[in-house]
Chains A and B, each alone.
Chain A
Amino acid sequence: MDKETEVKSSPEKRASSSKAFRFISVFARLLIGIILIVAGVSKLAAPKEEFALIIEAYNLVSPSTALTLATFLPWLELLIGYSLLTGYLLRLFTVASGILFIAFDFALFSLKIRGIELPSCGCFGASFHPEPKIMIGVDFVLIILSLIIFKVQPIWALDLWAGKRNNHGE
């Protein structure tokens, strides 16, 4: 390949890799959105005291804080989940999802350090019962995916329909 052809193909390559990343970003939004919605629904489908009991088992917050968290966290999960799915205030809610998964990973990792064994992570109420060690890995992947959504120019998003300019100036 001569130098001229190489120079010509570089922007095309960049364009195609950027397009691929945009689709990965959409996939990431779908995945995180669905996970958060399922998590929120599972928790709301049981009395809030049940989820508060799970939060208390982590031994990181007081019982009254656990009850407050149990009341609001499922709704927050739904809000972030739907915002990512629809692409509404995408950057803001992507940051929120990243912070949420970092907080979850911190809580799960602290269990390991303190030697607390829980029957499951309690992330999905009574619906699914993934082990804490598995969820540490899953949350880490979700943090990476949140980072991709944050970095990549969005497509198929309410933000674009609403005319919100993205950070790429487009």
Chain B
Amino acid sequence: MKRVYGGLVVLALVAVTGLFAKKSRKPYVETAPAYRIEGPAGAPITISEFSDFECPACRAAEGPRKQLLALYGSKVRFIFKDFPLEHIHPWAKSAAIAAECAGEQGKFWELHDLLYANQDQWVEAKSPPEAIEAYVKSLGLDNAAFKACLKDPKTVALIDADVKEGQERWVSATPTFFINGKRFIGGLQLSALGPIWIDKILAKKHG
């Protein structure tokens, strides 16, 4: 009989610990500079995207991403993370650095949108950095501060930290989205399966 009690004790410990672990799945704690975050801090849904400005699939995912954010409004907090795939996209990191520096002056999303909307042009340009610079100028940023930011090692460190985080989270393709910790690779998965997952989380919270 004592052996049965012992077994029950062990099973109870396993069950309590396992359920506690599952319950501890809070809205995923994600960090990024404030200019790369959209939506309220207390939103029940957190979507983070590991993206590469030179990646065509990331550009294609922009439509589904914006639709999803419009659909759920203030229930969603969106966080952009840099994951430049330098071995296939030689200018992706330069673009990411430029976007960080635009963010320093409050224009991250503006440059983000320009870089994706005109991806074919600047990627194919004779000098992609010059093409990016033209977009930066069009945003009316403080040129001296922008250039100083480009050279600041802290800017590169921000991107490197995102890349390291992505690697630790086994990101191997862009765009990779995480909705409260669950992974969706590419715009198609995001638009097809994302709402199902979000509705499930919201239903649990309200149920």
Q: Which residues of A line the B interface, CB within 8 A?
A: 37, 40-42, 44-47, 49-50, 53-54, 57, 74-75, 78-79, 82-83, 86, 88-89, 119-120, 122, 126, 129, 158-159, 161-164
Judging by beta carbons under 8 Å apart, are B3 and A162 in contact?
yes
Residue in chain A with minimal CB distance to B11: A79
Judging by beta carbons under 8 Å apart, are B18 and A44 in contact?
yes
Judging by beta carbons under 8 Å apart, are B181 and A164 in contact?
no
Q: Which residues of B line the A interface, CB within 8 A?
A: 2-3, 5-7, 9-11, 13-14, 17-18, 20-22, 24-25, 167-170, 181-183
A-B pairs with beta carbons under 8 Å apart, 21 shown:
A40-B17, A44-B22, A45-B24, A47-B182, A49-B182, A50-B182, A54-B170, A57-B170, A74-B21, A78-B14, A78-B17, A78-B18, A82-B10, A82-B13, A82-B17, A86-B13, A88-B7, A158-B10, A161-B2, A161-B6, A162-B5
Q: Which 9 pairs across A and B sit closest by C-beta, in order of nearness? A: A44-B21, A162-B2, A158-B6, A162-B3, A41-B21, A119-B167, A47-B182, A78-B14, A82-B13
Q: Which residues of B contact A40 (CB under 8 A)?
A: 17-18, 21
Most buried by A among B3, B6, B7, B183: B6
* Known A45-B22, A46-B181, A47-B181: A163·B2 in contact at CB below 8 Å: yes
Q: Which residues of A contact B22 (CB under 8 A)?
A: 44-45
Taking the closest CB of chain A, its distance from the CB of B13, in whole angstroms, is: 5
Taking the closest CB of chain A, its distance from the CB of B177, in whole angstroms, is: 13
**What is the CA–CA distance of A159 and B10 in the complex, to the nearest angstrom?**
12
Taking the closest CB of chain A, its distance from the CB of B109, in whole angstroms, is: 28
Q: Which residues of B contact A54 (CB under 8 A)?
A: 170
Cross-interface CB contact of B9 among A41, A158, A159, cutoff 8 Å: A158
Taking the closest CB of chain A, its distance from the CB of B10, in whole angstroms, is: 5
Judging by beta carbons under 8 Å apart, are A46 and B25 in contact?
yes
Q: Which residues of A contact B11 (CB under 8 A)?
A: 79
**What is the CA–CA distance of A161 and B9 in the complex, to the nearest angstrom?**
13
Cross-interface CB contact of B170 among A79, A89, A119, cutoff 8 Å: A119
Q: Which residues of B contact A86 (CB under 8 A)?
A: 6, 9-10, 13
